Structure 1
Amino acid sequence: MAMSTPDPGRQPERTLLAWRRTSLGLIANGALLLASGHGSSAVRTGLGIVVLVLSLGCWAAVSAVYRRTKGGAVHALGHENVLRVAAGLVLVVGLFDLYAVITR
C-alpha cells in the first residue's frame, strides 16, 4: 500500500468560516458600542472604534492566513498563538461591554 497524504477535506474552510463568524460578532459588538456612545460618551465611542479596528484586523489576518496556506493548513488557523489572541480579544470586548452596561 502506498502512503498518501491526509486529505483535510473541508476542515480548513469550516475553520475559516468559524473565525469569520467570531470576527463578525465582534464587529457588530463594536458597532453597538459606537452607537451607544454617539453624542453622549466619548469613552464609549472610543471603545467602539477600538473594537471595530481590532475586529476588522482579526478578519483580515485570518483571511490572509487562509489565502497564504491555500486553504490546506488547518493548523495555521488553529495555532495556539492565534487562539490566545482571539481569546484575549473576546475578553477585552467583554470588559468593554461590561463597562458600557455599568455606566449606562
Structure 2
Amino acid sequence: MSTPDPGRQPERTLLAWRRTTLGLIANGALLLASGHGTSDVRTGLGIVVLVLSLACWAVVSAVYRRTKGGAIQALGHQHLLRLAAGLVLVVGIFDLYAVVTR
C-alpha cells in the first residue's frame, strides 16, 4: 500500500503561514513607527509584536524543514495554531490600544 501524495498542499500551507506572519511583522513595524518619538509604550508594543512575529516565522519554517514538507499535519499542529491565534489576538489588542490612545 502506498502513502498518499500530499501534492503541493504543504507548500501552500507554509505560504499561508508566512503570509500571516508577514502581515504581523508589518503590523509590528507600523506600531513601532507610530510610537517613534511620542510614546514609549507604542514603541515597546511594536518591538514585542516584531519579536513574536519573527519567532512565529522561525518556528513554522523549522517545522517545515524538519518534516521536509511531507507532513502537512505538523504545520496544522494544535500548538502552532494556538500560537498563531494568540499572536493575532495580542496584536489586535495592541492595535486597539494604539488607536484608542492616539
Give the equivalent residue in structure 1 for 2:37: 39
Query: What is the Cα deviation at residue 75 of structure 1?
Result: 0.3
Residue 19 of structure 2 is aligned with which of 18, 21, 24? 21
Map of 1:3-82 to 2, 5 A cutoff?
3-82=1-80
RMSD over aligned Cα, in angstroms?
Answer: 0.5
Residue 27 of structure 1 aligns with an amino acid whose one-letter code is I
Structure 2: distance between partners of 1:28 and 1:45? 14
TM-score (norm 1): 0.97
Query: What is the Cα deviation at residue 9 of structure 1?
Result: 0.5
Query: What is the Cα deviation at residue 80 of structure 1?
Result: 1.4
Q: Which runs of 5+ in 1 are unaligned?
A: none
The structure whose Rg is larger is: 1
Count of aligned residue pairs for this structure pair:
102
Does the residue aligned with 1:31 lie in a helix, a strand or coil?
Answer: helix
| Structure 1 stretches of at least 4 aligned residues deviating more than 4 Å after TM superposition | none
Identity %: 87
TM-score (norm 2): 0.98
Structure 1: distance between partners of 2:80 and 2:18? 13
Query: What is the Cα deviation at residue 15 of structure 1?
Result: 0.4
Residue 77 of structure 1 aligns with an amino acid whose one-letter code is L
Q: Which runs of 5+ in 2 are unaligned?
A: none
Structure 2: distance between partners of 1:79 and 1:65? 10
